[in-house]
Every structure is written in structure tokens, then in C-alpha cells.
Amino acid sequence: MMDAGDSILFGEDPEEGIVAVELVAGASGQGRMSVFVRDGAHVTHHEEPFEPFVVATEGTLDGCPVPCSTTTLAGKGPLNTLGTFANWNDCRKAAAWLSKESGYSPSDGGAPYLSPNDPVQQYLMRSGKTHFLGMQADDVNRMQVDIECITTPGYDFCNADRAGDEIVAIAMADPSGWVEVLSGTEMDEATILRRFSEIVQERDPDVIEGHNIFNFDLPYIVARAAYREVRLTLGRDGSEPSGRPSRISIGERSLAYTRFEIYGRHVVDTLFLVQAYDITHRSLAGFGLKDVAIHFGVAAEDRTYVEGSRISDIYREDTERIMRYVRDDVCETRDVSRLLSQSSFVQAQALPYSYQNICVRGTATKVDALMMREYLRRGYALPRPDTARPFEGGYTDMFRTGVILNVHHCDVRSLYPSLMLTRNLAPRTDECGVFLDLLRTLRDFRVETKAKMQAATDAQERAQYDALQTTFKILINSFYGYLGFGQARFSDFDAAERVTADGRELLQQMIDWLKAHGAEPIEIDTDGIYFVPPADCLADGEAEAHLAAFRKAFAADLPPGIDVEFDGEYRSMYSYKMKNYALLAKDGTTTIKGGALKSRGLEPFQRDFMKRMLRLRLEGRESELPALRTEFERAIQHREWPIEKLAKREMLQESPKSYASKIGRGARSRAAAYELALKAEREYRSGDYVSYYVIGDKKSVSVHQSAKLTSEWDPKSRDENVAYYQGKLDALCKKFEVPETAETQGELF
């Protein structure tokens, strides 16, 4: 745990045990905040004064239509006037007036004013308080939730708007080991929902978690409660959840979701935590709970599995199996949260955000909040963001393709942060020097945590430290991204360009050194290098000593303040193209990275083929590739697989009616899932899943015209398009140069 004595990172108010902060409800309370504090098993709350603020350029607040107290801030920044208000309503009225008067929206970097539209963020920035100080992660009372629903016959997935698609189970768990399942065999849906609300109040969680809880569990619970006319009194004040559309950006992905607020509590989606984890590791086969639990080793040996499309049938045939299934789901959610929530917990001790917001905010935005909090604490004016412009990025290159044996990996420890710290590369508008002070503190913590990870002998403890150091690695590395983030208050594109230029120069020196000393570079990606060590490090009985000497010499050649880590040794590597490769570790585990090798857009049989093909290549068993190809060709030709291995399953992101409207005006192309939904006798809605396969007998078909619902597939009269799926396999084999046997060429067709 980090030393909370450093106010630049943790804020200046040392109050411990804060688990939630909320604006006091009602017009009379808009100038006060309710602070919830946990002391062991008990939570109390007290109210504190709250003066929301606007930071503006000189004179901008003149004529403000609501009472406003102003203070002049020190320094050279143009936003040098701090305006404070008696309550949140007045502050919002002032922000709306400023937007109208200036012609700038609040999010515009050129606006002559700044006022965060989150009362909790404003309160934490001004007060210097943060969540969870003085607490360990296990001190936070978390409740995991998972639901199961039945689906009206004829549909592929349940939809809360259909009367018959009821919730038949709600499972709840917490880290203490408590698990409870509310079963539809013991109570009706309305009673399940009422009892769920009662349990939330009885156990009083600080955090409610679920896997896909924002886009499935909570919207479903809320919709069914409305249908059953049940009040969901989940808030600490007895209020019901409120939801609104929102978006989250995770790496290259931008996801729509329904953001829910529960008064006095935080709602966290472990699906988002998993996706954030995968941005750095790129090692997950999928983001579904089952795949994730297996990946992290938290799936129980006797875990109950049920195919999603079979839940309704099995519920009617074997209800207890569904209850075991939902119990296992909620326990896996609990264990995944235990591993991946550690980093967000520690960030909550530092950042002026609610814990819930920390789990959905981008890293550059978090750096911005830390910078602004410290400037306001010191009474200094804020700058405007720098003018955005393009600049050259990091150094990436690939030197060899195919299968390579005895591959090692080295990583420059926090390359860009190290360059910024050793060469004093910081925003020119940061006259207080806050940027590098923050970066130094965070880097030291990450190094300490990574050392603990490497020393850990327990697999779960190691995974916890790994999740923690990974998130802080992302946050630390985002200091460079922050410089080139157009909306960042202290952005500086000249400084960002200097950082990448220095990084490219350093990495090129490292590549040159490796080549000069007998090593063979394979691939370089911004701050890491895959390479084959010199022959004397691999061949003879003194290889280990030679390797140690080689590494020592390599590290010694680097400039002061730049450290290299040798963090991977692999039996083999399959290098396909830039940022797309597979690795075989010494313990036999494989890692596949890159969209070209594990695209989630492939049919299940293609993903299975890719995994097995890569494994054979990594193990030097290329002679078995024709047999693998033949196995898949025969299975397709003789229709040996269940249809699920060929089918695609897609969620309708918009209603079929909206889709049809866009098609009518040429605003989008046709898609199979929507075409099937429009043709179906039953009504499909946004959020429904459609599973389909392709029929016919020609290799080249228009998928949207040849698709058929998986639910309509008849195993006694199979009609999947053999030529189409064979063509997909052939294209995959051609792409990855998988040969066919001579006997197969004439045998199958």
C-alpha cells in the first residue's frame, strides 16, 4: 500500500474510511455533501459544507446572474479567477450562463471557464479528501450479483420487455464466502425482487458488482421491477437506482452502456475491468465470464456449465442445475473482482473521483484531475490546453517472420516516463512542477509492486500484484499520452514529440547493440524487444553464465536512469506480422496476441482451428498441419459438428425498426442479424441477440440473404452451406500457408 503522507498524490485531507460521497438531495441541501465512512462492519455518514466552483479568465464572471464569490489565483495561467457558489444549482446555472455568453461549451479547451460537471469530483478536488484511505482492499464491503432469466420460446436471448422473460434467479455473494441464491422455484418474480432489495439494505455493500452488470443485470432488474411494480430501494437513503446512456473508451474500443447510480454505493462492471486488463496483456481468449475465470485459474473443477441458449429448457427440466450455475457465476465474478479491482481501489485512494468513476474514466483524464487538484490546492491559475497537432509516434518494427526458437523478451522499464524524468520533459505550462513530481511518485510505486509480484509464490497473490502493477503501468505511461491529449489542461505537443523522438533514438541504439553482440532482433514495439540471444547463451554447458553476462553488459550500456527488464523466455515464437504473434512458454502455455490471430469476428470453428494450428507450429509439428486441415475439412463436409460451431451470435445494437429506416435512406449496409430480426414472426428489440448460420450450396453467397436463425436449424435435416464454410477454412489455410495432403485433394470433393 502506498504511503498516504504525500498530499500531491493522495490529497491533503487525511480522513480515513470514506466509502462514498453524495450530494445531499433536495434544493435546501445543494450546498452540502453527505460523506459515508466505514468503521469495520458499521457505516455512518455526516454532512459537510460544499462550495462548488468555476475557474475562469479575468472578468469572465462579471455579471454572473447568481451570487458568486471570486478569488484571484497566482501564476501565469489565463484561468486565474476562482468563483465559488453557495450550492450546486447556482453553480450549474452559472456554467450554463457562461456557455451562452462565451459561445463555448464546457468541454471546449478554448473556453474561458472550467467547471467539472460532477459534484463529487468538485468536492474531492477542493476538500483534498479521497476514498478508502486507511483501508485495505478487503475492508471494502463488496456484493456481487448475477441473474438468470428464462426466454420466451422462439427467441435466442431473453429480453426484459417481454412479459414472459422473467428473472428466475438472483445470486449474491461477497468476499467473506457468503452466497445466497433467490430461486424462482421458491418465490415468484416480484418476491425475488423485493427480497433482493431487502438483502442489499441488510448487508449494506459499498460496491455492487457484476459481469456485464451495466448492460444486462441491472437494466434487466430495473425493467422487471417496473413491470412488477416493485420499488427497488437499493440506495443507502432508500432511493431507487437511476440510469442514463453513457459511453466508455477502453483502448481502441468505444462501448455504449447504461450507467446506473445507486445513492451511497458504487456500481462496478467486472467486464470493463477485464477489458482494461486486456489492453496491456492482450492474452484473453474472450471477455465472457467463463473464459476469464479459466484464464485466471478461478474456475472451480466441479463448476456447472450451461449453454446460454439452453437455460430456459434446462430450468424447466432440471431447476437445481440452473441454481448451481448461477451460484458458480456469482462466485467467479467475486474472484475475478478480487484480482482486478485491486488497482482501482488504490487509485481511489489518490484520485478525486468516486470509485465508480475511476473504473470508467480514461487514464489521461485521471492525470488531468490530479494536476488540477494540486494547482487549486496551491491557489494557482490554470492554463488552456495546447493546440493539437500530429507528431511521429513510437518505434515499432519487425525483423523476421515465421517460427523462431529460443526467443527472449526485454522491456525498458517505463520507457517514456523514464525519459521524461531523466531529461525533465514536462509541460511548459506546469510552472509548479507538479507533473514530474506525480510521475516520480507513481513510478516508484509501480516498481515496488512489480518486485512483489515477481517474489510472490501464491498464484492468486501474484495475479493480484500483476493486475495492480499493470494498471499503474498504464497510468504512468499515460503521462506521455497526456502531453498529446488535446483536452488535457496541461497538454504540450512539443514535449510529447520530444519524448517519442528520444524513445526512438534509444531503442534504435538498443537494436544496434543487440546485433553487434550476436543477438537477433525479432520484433520491437514501443518499449519492448523480442530477440534471440547470441549462440553462446544457448548452446553449451556455460550458457546460463554467458546469458547473465550478456544481460549485464546490455543493461550497462543504457543511459543513466534507463533500466531494462528481461521478463520473458520462450521455447518458440510464431511471428506473423507487426503486433501479431504467438508465444510458447517453457511451461507449455501459449499466448496469442493481435487481431489477425484471434479475431473475435471469426466463427467458432475458425478460432478453434487457429489455436490448434498455432500450437502445432510453435511445437515444431508442422508435418501435422495437413492432418489438422483434413480433420476440419471432413467435419464440415460430413456435417459432423453441432451448428453452434459454425454459427455467429450478434447483439442488435439498435432496434430493427431503426435499422430499416437507415437502410431506406442509404445510411448503412445490410447485415444478416437485422435482416433475420425483421423477417421473424416475433418482435426483436435493441439488446436482443441473434444467432445465425449460412445456408445454400454455393461458396460465394450474400450472407444477409442466405442467413438462417440457429433456432430454426434441424439436426435431422441439416442445411448448412458446406461450400461456404469450406471456403472460409480454405481462405484461412491459404492466409497462413497450411498445406493439404495429396489424398485430401481428390477425396473430399
- Residue 727's Cβ-side half-sphere holds a number of Cα atoms within 13 Å equal to 12
Percent of the chain with pLDDT over 90: 71
Kind plus residue range of the DSSP H or E element containing 441 = helix 434-455
For residue 153, report the phi and psi dihedrals to the nearest 5 degrees: -50, 135
Does 404 score more than 60 pLDDT?
yes
At 136 the pLDDT is: 87
| d(C-alpha 530, C-alpha 573), whole Å | 9
Mean pLDDT of the chain: 91
Kindly state the cell numbers that stand for 311: 437455460
Cα–Cα distances in angstroms (integers) from residue 562 to residues 321, 501, 513, 574, in the given order: 56, 15, 15, 29
Mean pLDDT value of segment 646-672: 90
Helices (H), 296-389: 311-317, 319-340, 342-348, 355-358, 363-378
> In this structure, what C-alpha cell is assigned to residue 557?
550500456
Give the range with max mean pLDDT: 190-199, 276-285, 383-392: 190-199
The predicted-structure confidence for 116-143, as pLDDT tens digits, reads as follows 999 999 999 999 999 999 998 899 999 9
DSSP line for 559-586 = PTT--EEEEEEEEEEEEEETTEEEEEET
**pLDDT surpassing 50 at residue 342:** yes
Beta 142-149 vs 207-210: how paired, if at all? parallel
Q: Tens of pLDDT along 713-723?
A: 999 999 999 99
Residue 596 has pLDDT above 90, yes or no: no
pLDDT in tens, 160-213: 989 999 999 999 999 999 999 999 999 999 999 999 999 999 999 999 999 999
Nine cell digits for residue 333: 465474478
695 CB-near residues (< 8 Å, 6+ apart): 706, 707, 708, 719, 720, 721
pLDDT in the model for residue 236: 97
pLDDT confidence band for 9 (50 / 70 / 90):
confident
Q: Which residues contact 275 (CB under 8 A, 6 or more apart)?
A: 250, 251, 253, 255, 287
**DSSP secondary-structure letter at 690?**
E
**Any idea what DSSP says for residue 109?**
T
Distance in angstroms (rounded) separating the CA atoms of residues 314 and 565: 51
- Give the global pTM: 0.84
Orientation of helix 656-664 relative to helix 672-679, angle to 10°: 110
**Which residue's entry shows cell 537477433?**
520
DSSP state, residue 645? G
Q: What is the mean pLDDT of residues 547-572?
A: 93
The mean per-residue pLDDT over the stretch 665-688 comes to: 86
Does 748 have pLDDT greater than 50? no
Residue 749 has pLDDT above 50, yes or no: no
Confidence band of 2 (pLDDT split at 50, 70, 90) = very low
| C-beta separation of 480 from 416 below 8 A | yes
Give yes or no for residue 271 having a pLDDT over 80.
yes
Average pLDDT over residues 286-291: 85
Name the grid cell of 44: 455512518
What digits encode the pLDDT tens for the residues 415-449? 899 999 999 999 999 999 999 999 998 888 777 88
Q: What is the pLDDT of residue 743?
A: 55
Higher pLDDT, 415 or 74: 74
Model pLDDT for residues 683-705, shown as the tens digit of each residue: 777 767 788 999 999 999 999 99
> CB–CB of 91/53 below 8 Å?
yes
Q: Residue 742 has what pLDDT?
A: 52
pLDDT at 689: 76
Q: What is the mean pLDDT of residues 551-566?
A: 93
- pLDDT at residue number 28: 55
Q: What pLDDT is recorded for position 687?
A: 63
pLDDT score for 512? 96
SS3 content of the chain, % helix, strand, coil (to 5): 45, 20, 35
Domains and CATH numbers, the chain: 7-134 (3.30.342.10), 137-346 (3.30.420.10), 396-598 (3.90.1600.10), 604-747 (1.10.132.60)
∠ CA 406-409-410, rounded to 5°: 145
> Which residue has better confidence, 623 or 449?
623
Neighbouring residues of 688: CB distance < 8 A, sequence distance ≥ 6: 155, 156, 157, 159, 651, 652, 677
Which spans in 639-720 are helix H?
656-664, 672-679, 703-706
pLDDT at 467: 66
